Each structure stands twice: as C-alpha cells, then as structure tokens.
Amino acid sequence: MKEYRIAVVGMGAVGKEMVATLEKSSLPIAEVVPMVRRNIGESVVFRGKTCFTKKIQKGSFKDIDIALFSAGADASLEIAPQAIEEGAVVIDNSSAFRMDPLVPLVVPEVNPLDAAKHNGLIANPNCSTIQMVVALKPLHDLYKIKRIVVSTYQAVSGTGLQAIDELNSQVLAYAHGEKIQHSVYPHQIAFNCLPHIDDFLESGYTKEEMKMHNETRKIMGDKDIQVTATTVRVPVVRCHSEAVNIETEKPLPDVAVIRRILAEAPGVIVVDDPANKRYPLATDCQNQYEVFVGRIRKDYSIQNGLNLWVVSDNLLKGAALNAVQIAELLVANNWLSAVKKTVAV
C-alpha cells in the first residue's frame, strides 16, 4: 500500500489541529512535513516522532503528495501555485480560492464528487459555512431550501492563537480589577459580543457574512438559495454556534421526522431534548468531530419555516478535520491526479 507524504503549511491554531487530526486519520502516511515561512525549527510531534518546521523554499513540495495549507490567504496565493507546480495536491483553508470557478469548494458530507474535479487545488470552506451546510444538506435534498437566515456566535479561536490569548488576558485583568487592554479586536471581547467579523463592505455586510452567502450556494450547487447572515464574535474559546432559520419550497414534516432525518445524516448528531435541558453547547462540542443540531422547531411566522441551533468545533470540522477528510476522500477514490485546467491566481 502506498504511503503518502503530507505537508502542513502554517503552524497556527488550525495547523496544529491538522497535525493532530492526521495522527488519528486512517490515511497511510509515510511522513508529515510541517512547513512555515517564519519560525523555523519549532518541534512538532507526529505519531511519537519529533520533527521540526521547515522553511518553504524552491523544491519544498517536490516529494509531497498532499499539502494542507493554513497560513492565510496571502501565503496561499504566493505558495500554492508553487506546490501544485512541484506535484502536490493543495487543500487550502484560506479564503484565497474559494470562489474561483475552477476550484472545487468541498464539504465531504455535502458535495464529495466535486473533489474529483480538482486541478491540483481544493478549497476548504469558511468554518461557519461548513457546519451550517452539513446540517442543512439533508433537508435541502428533501424539501429544497429557498431562504436561509443565520446568526452566528463565533469563538475567538477562529481569529487565531493571539485572540485566545487576548480573551484569557482580559478575563484575568477583569478578575484582578485591572484595566482591560485590547489589540486583536477593535473592542474588548471578554464579557462582550462584537457584531463584526472581517472587514465591512459598502453594503453594510461584512466579508464573513458574504462568505456564508456565496459559499453556501456554491457548495450546495444551487444559486437560487437566498442567504442572509449576521456574524458575531463572542467570548468563547472554541466552537461556533449558529441560530439558523430556513424556509423551504416543499411542506416540512413533523419535527419528529426532521429529527430522524438529521440523526441519520452523515456527520450530524442531534441533541434535542428541551424538556431535560439538553441542546448543543460549545462546552460539550469542543474536540468533537461532528456537527451538533438541536432546538429544532417549526417557524410558525412563515409557511414551511424551521429553526435550528447548530454547534461545531470550528478548529476541527470547521477547518482541520474537513481538510483531512478531503484528503481521505482523494486517496480513497484515487482522485489525486489533477484535472488539466488553469487556476486563476
């Protein structure tokens, strides 16, 4: 059996989770090669073996089969073409290529066949989009969703390690009666909610909100779905939560039937027992691979409306795990060979 050499580009919060997720993966792996543009020499342990981050240079990807990128859009735009040219298949976690019509945007539970159409590059969707489409795909297949209204409650780890440190330091400052400082976010995040993720656009929406609109339609393969989002950063370290409201074209069945449909869907766990105060919580979902759904109830203000509460670990299913699952999909189906197209960079 062939064993694969896998590069992990970027050793931030997601990059570290990529290594940890690869360690648990069933992929036959000969070597994991951590790569960075700076901070070379940092130790990384993979399956009991210590390796060190290597500086990216010409020829770095020559013997790499799959490269998982989590170093930001600028790095991806600069380095991904090199990796592809040198023979690696790139799975990119940044926003750089997601809406490129020649680049598949893949969530394995939702649109696995799109991965076969790659040209050496596959994009990993936005974290908040991933968990939402995993929960909504089985309902869309049966009842055709025509409109989605979503409000997100996103953890600070989505911004990175510095944001986690900032939240922790602000909580400590508050506990000690000290002045709270902020630099990562424009306002204090501890004990606060910031309705501002990514840059604002002229429309008044943020880039994060428009990512959910554009990416959902591409992943679901349906340009008619209308999506409007409000994305909020909350003082939670890990796991994004979402209040999702959908309107379908076809009449929806009883909630008990919807629970069963979702419980049988790949990658979904239903936690919906409000009588016993059981519903998905960020504190319960961290370090878990699945998307958790609860608070399932009809929206009686519109015809064919439904409300859902969706929670998932943004560093895992929202990033590292989804990337590794794409790699597993490529290997399992012998889809590593690239389609001959040109990537717009």
Catalytic residues: 127, 240
The residue whose two tokens read 């090669």 is 33
Strands 29-36 and 49-52: unpaired
Q: Is 170 exposed, middle or buried (0-12, 13-18, 19+ CB in 10 A)?
A: buried
Three-state DSSP at 45 gives: strand
Say how far apart CA 146 and CA 151 lie, in whole Å.
Answer: 17
Is 189 in contact with 163 (CB distance < 8 Å)?
yes
Q: Which helix (H) or strand (E) holds 331?
A: helix 321-332
Contact 293, 270 (CB under 8 A): yes
* Contacts by 81-85, CB closer than 8 A, 24 or more apart: 81/343, 81/345, 82/58, 83/7, 83/9, 84/119, 84/120, 84/121, 84/338, 84/343
What is the DSSP code string of 250-277? Answer: SPP--HHHHHHHHHTSTTEEE--BGGGT
H or E, element range at 163: helix 161-175
SS3 167: helix
The secondary structure of residue 316, as a DSSP letter, is: I
For residue 67, give both structure tokens: 């490269």
CB 68 within 8 A of CB 7: yes
* SS3 state at 327: helix
DSSP 8-state class, residue 121: E
